[in-house]
């Protein structure tokens, strides 16, 4: 468990929290870059490339963002990504995200990307990675945001497709740090990709997987035990299995929780019903992230501020812990983590002194 620094968290009034949540440095560990594609950019790229969209305009597209579950979102999300054709498109999408992240005081971001969404449309993985890695380099240089890429396998597709994706991406191995597993969770358990993950492990890639978003706690267990992942993306359904909650706390397995996503996809009825505070209080290593911010109504700071507004039991200490967890659970180097955590400590010390 993280030992907290000697800061007078209790002195910080609740009224100071929204500004503090925005100002504190943080890492974002659960962000699908295709999910940052705003309707305006979708329409601009569609026009540029002569791609026909089944929506009249930006407003009509936004109106379609009323989801009933994960699948209803994924159908629109994959359609939106159909305007991404050239490396410059991927770079523009990622730069737009990095500018928002910098404004939200994100110091480090680990971005998911879905090669199969693009290769299935005839866009080579080289194009995808060229555009995204170009933006990663520019983010560091132009915005001071550190970033890395995590290649995700679409779990509704088969093992052979995942292996083919990995092989096609390996010539660009230096541009991604790990692999993840996303798309339709129910009926596609982690163990479907046991051999793919074993190979990725041999290659020295970091391993994460979505589990326990809509799927049962058993998927969290097999992600840990069969895939041997280092973090669980979402994981909120762990509460259905108290023994699993105890294990996640004992092993300090990071959960990349996405509150606004969970409400938009009806995992929780409303933000004030979210179990984030309960997970923190159970000692789990929880982080806050935005998932697909262009679709779910807010980037990472909105996820923090709206969650804290909806859950009055969340404290300044929780705010510190969430940001601290985001750095500790990242795959960044220890030296970078130490710098960011020192900055985080300074921000909270100043807030406590001012109170």
Residue 213 binding target from ligand ADE, Zn ion, none, CB below 5 to 8 Å by type: ligand ADE
Minimum separation from the CB atom of position 113 to ligand ADE (A): 10
Of 176-215, binders to ligand ADE (CB under 6 A) are 182-183, 210, 213
Minimum separation from the CB atom of position 182 to Zn ion (A): 6
The number of residues in the chain equals 355
Active site residue 251: no
**Three-class SS of 262-325:** HHHCCCCCCHHHCCHHHHHHCCCEEEECCECHHHHCCCHHHHHHHHHHHCCCCCHHHHHHHHHH
Distance CA 289, CA 208 (A): 15
Catalytic pick among 28, 38, 213, 328: 213
Q: Tell me the backbone φ, ψ of residue 254, rounded to 5 degrees.
A: -65, 140
Residue 113 vs 348, nearer CB to ligand ADE: 113
Per-residue x/- track, 288-307, ligand ADE (CB under 6 A): ---xx---------------
Residue 117 vs 326, nearer CB to ligand ADE: 117
Residue 89 vs 182, nearer CB to ligand ADE: 182
Of 23-82, binders to ligand ADE (CB under 6 A) are 32, 35, 70, 77
Q: Residue numbers of the site for Zn ion (CB under 5 A)?
A: 291
Nearest to 286 by CA among 247, 258, 262: 258
Residue 214 vs 318, nearer CB to ligand ADE: 214
Residue 214 binding target from Zn ion, ligand ADE, none, CB below 5 to 8 Å by type: none
**Inter-axis angle of helices 300-310 and 316-328, nearest 10:** 150
Q: Indicate whether 221 belongs to the interface with ligand ADE (CB under 6 A).
A: no
Residue 219 vs 304, nearer CB to ligand ADE: 219
Q: Indicate whether 237 belongs to the interface with ligand ADE (CB under 6 A).
A: no
**Inter-axis angle of helices 316-328 and 334-354, nearest 10:** 170
Are the beta carbons of 95 and 131 closer than 8 angstroms? no
Q: Which residue is nearest to Zn ion (CB)?
A: 291
Minimum separation from the CB atom of position 19 to Zn ion (A): 28
* Cβ-based neighbours of 25, under 8 Å, separated by 6 or more: 105, 106, 107, 323, 340, 343, 344, 347
Are the beta carbons of 115 and 125 closer than 8 angstroms? yes
The CA radius of gyration of the chain, in Å to the nearest whole number, is 19
Bridge partners, residue 111, by sequence:
31, 149
Q: Which residue is nearest to ligand ADE (CB)?
A: 182
Minimum separation from the CB atom of position 183 to ligand ADE (A): 5
Interacting residue with ligand ADE among 146, 188, 256, 261 (CB under 6 A):
261
In a 3-state reduction of DSSP, which class is residue 112? strand
Residue 183 binding target from ligand ADE, Zn ion, none, CB below 5 to 8 Å by type: ligand ADE
Q: Indicate whether 89 belongs to the interface with ligand ADE (CB under 6 A).
A: no
Nearest to 328 by CA among 286, 289, 300: 286
Residue with tokens 């020192």: 342
Residue 35 vs 217, nearer CB to Zn ion: 35
Of 118-157, binders to ligand ADE (CB under 6 A) are none
Residue 118 binding target from ligand ADE, Zn ion, none, CB below 5 to 8 Å by type: none
Q: Tell me the backbone φ, ψ of residue 215, rounded to 5 degrees.
A: -80, 165
**Inter-axis angle of helices 125-138 and 159-169, nearest 10:** 60
Per rule CB under 6 A, count of chain residues that contact ligand ADE: 11
Binding site for ligand ADE (CB under 6 A): 32, 35, 70, 77, 182-183, 210, 213, 261, 291-292
| Residues designated catalytic | 213
């Amino acid at each position: 468990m993280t030992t907290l620094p000697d800061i007078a968290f209790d002195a910080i009034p609740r009224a100071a929290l929204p500004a503090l949540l925005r100002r504190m440095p943080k890492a974002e560990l659960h962000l699908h870059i295709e999910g940052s594609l705003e309707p305006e950019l979708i329409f601009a790229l569609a026009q540029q490339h002569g791609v026909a969209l089944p929506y009249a305009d930006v407003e009509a597209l936004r109106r379609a963002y009323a989801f009933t579950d994960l699948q209803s979102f994924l159908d629109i999300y994959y359609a939106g990504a159909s305007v991404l054709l050239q490396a410059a498109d991927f770079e523009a999408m990622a730069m737009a995200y990095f500018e928002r992240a910098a404004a939200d005081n994100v110091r480090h971001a680990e971005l998911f990307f879905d090669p199969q969404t693009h290769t299935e449309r005839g866009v080579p993985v080289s194009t995808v990675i060229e555009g995204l890695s170009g933006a990663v380099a520019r983010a560091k240089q132009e915005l001071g945001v550190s970033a890395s890429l995590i290649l995700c396998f679409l779990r509704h597709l088969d093992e052979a497709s995942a292996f083919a994706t990995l092989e096609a991406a390996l010539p660009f191995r230096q541009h991604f740090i790990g692999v993840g597993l996303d798309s339709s969770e129910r009926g596609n358990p982690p163990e479907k990709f046991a051999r793919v993950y074993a190979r990725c492990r041999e290659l020295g890639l970091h391993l994460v997987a979505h589990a326990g978003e809509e799927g049962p706690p058993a998927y969290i267990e097999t992600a840990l035990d069969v895939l041997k992942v280092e973090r669980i993306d979402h994981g909120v359904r762990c509460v259905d299995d108290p023994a699993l909650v105890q294990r996640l706390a004992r092993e300090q397995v990071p959960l990349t929780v996405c509150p606004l996503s969970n409400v938009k996809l009806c995992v929780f009825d409303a933000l004030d019903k979210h179990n984030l505070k309960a997970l923190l209080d159970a000692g789990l290593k929880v982080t806050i992230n935005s998932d697909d911010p262009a679709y779910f109504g807010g980037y990472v700071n909105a996820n923090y501020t709206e969650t804290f507004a909806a859950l009055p039991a969340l404290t300044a200490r929780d705010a510190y812990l969430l940001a601290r967890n985001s750095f500790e659970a990242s795959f960044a180097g220890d030296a970078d983590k130490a710098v960011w955590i020192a900055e985080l400590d300074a921000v909270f010390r100043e807030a406590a002194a001012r109170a």
